[in-house]
Amino acid sequence: MRLDKFLADCGTGTRSEVKKLIRSGAVRVIGLDKISPDTKIDEKSAEVYLNGEPIGYKKYVYLMLNKPENCLSATQDRYKTVVTDFVPSEFKHFDVFPIGRLDIDTVGLCILTNDGGLAHRLLSPARHIPKTYLAEVDGALSDEDVKAFESGMDLGDFITKPSRLEIISAAENKSLSKVTIFEGKFHQIKRMFKSRGREVTHLKRIAMNRLLLDGNLSEGEIRELTTDELELLTYDTE
């Protein structure tokens, strides 16, 4: 692999930035006296240093975004903000995409990655990966609703798998609840509540598999997952 591509893939800068770094002498490759942006290295074994710090090659990147409202779960759109608009410049060249889709008005946990294999495994209907949401609805939820979510609902074009509804608070005109579903059909949670005569007034995803949304991340903020968080996300998907 070319040295400039290697450094860019490691997240040290854009291709033109790393070319400048190489030419400025900030980069050292053990065993090579002369290097240039097109120097070929073996990315698995080369010992590369940037300003004296060792650089490790990264093939995949995993980002956690607290998705805001008015933002599409897409990689591009002519008019609307998309989730990839929040990707910091050092990760741009990874060409990440969102794992699954949240509605434009749904906020919360959105994972962006370039790891297509993981995305496929997390979205596979056969794996029943749990996704948890906080849902605010317009009316009083009751134990009858909990039972209906548990038994599976006929939504016309499909019957939902048993899901979990936990009522956090219920008042005459507003209830707050936690919902866990094990599939991800279009508008699923809104449609489930609708079939119980309720409108969802606010929806936020707070967990995917065992990974929780970082409560310190404000809407629109994004950061790389830690190794432990990646394990929670990929739990039981191998």
Q: Where are the beta strands (DSSP E) in the chain?
A: 27-29, 48-50, 53-55, 62-67, 71-72, 81-82, 97-98, 107-113, 131-137, 164-170, 175-181, 200-208, 211-212, 222-224
Question: Residue 102 CB, nearest distance to ligand URA (Å)?
Answer: 4
Decide if residue 102 touches ligand URA (CB under 6 A). yes
- SS3 track for 14-52: CHHHHHHHHHHCCEEECCCCCCCCCCECCCCCCCEEECC
Query: Candidates 21-29, 81-89, 100-108, 157-165 — which segment interacts with ligand URA by CB under 6 A?
Result: 100-108
Question: Residue 83 CB, nearest distance to ligand URA (Å)?
Answer: 12
**Nearest-angstrom CA–CA distance, 203 and 165:** 14
Question: Residue 10 CB, nearest distance to ligand URA (Å)?
Answer: 34
**Nearest-angstrom CA–CA distance, 46 and 10:** 13
Decide if residue 189 touches ligand URA (CB under 6 A). yes
Q: Which is nearer to ligand URA, 203 or 230 (CB)?
A: 203
Cβ neighbours for 102, distance < 8 A, ≥ 6 positions apart = 67, 73, 108, 110, 205
Decide if residue 122 touches ligand URA (CB under 6 A). no
From 69, 103, 136, 224, residue interacting with ligand URA (rule: CB under 6 A) = 103
Decide if residue 161 touches ligand URA (CB under 6 A). no
How many chain residues are in contact with ligand URA, going by CB under 6 A? 8
Q: Is 103 labeled as catalytic in the residue annotation?
A: yes
Question: Residue 162 CB, nearest distance to ligand URA (Å)?
Answer: 16
Query: Candidates 9-17, 36-44, 182-190, 211-219 — which segment interacts with ligand URA by CB under 6 A?
Result: 182-190
Decide if residue 187 touches ligand URA (CB under 6 A). yes
Decide if residue 106 touches ligand URA (CB under 6 A). yes
Give 105's DSSP letter. T
From 83, 203, 207, 208, residue interacting with ligand URA (rule: CB under 6 A) = 203
Neighbours of 40 (CB within 10 A): 11
From 19, 98, 122, 190, residue interacting with ligand URA (rule: CB under 6 A) = 190
Decide if residue 17 touches ligand URA (CB under 6 A). no
Q: Which is nearer to ligand URA, 114 or 195 (CB)?
A: 195
The single-letter code of the amino acid at 34 is K
**Nearest-angstrom CA–CA distance, 46 and 24:** 20
Q: Which is nearer to ligand URA, 105 or 214 (CB)?
A: 105
Q: What backbone phi and psi angles, to 5 degrees, belong to 80?
A: -100, 155
Residues binding ligand URA (CB under 6 A): 102-103, 106, 187-190, 203
Q: Which residues are catalytic?
A: 103
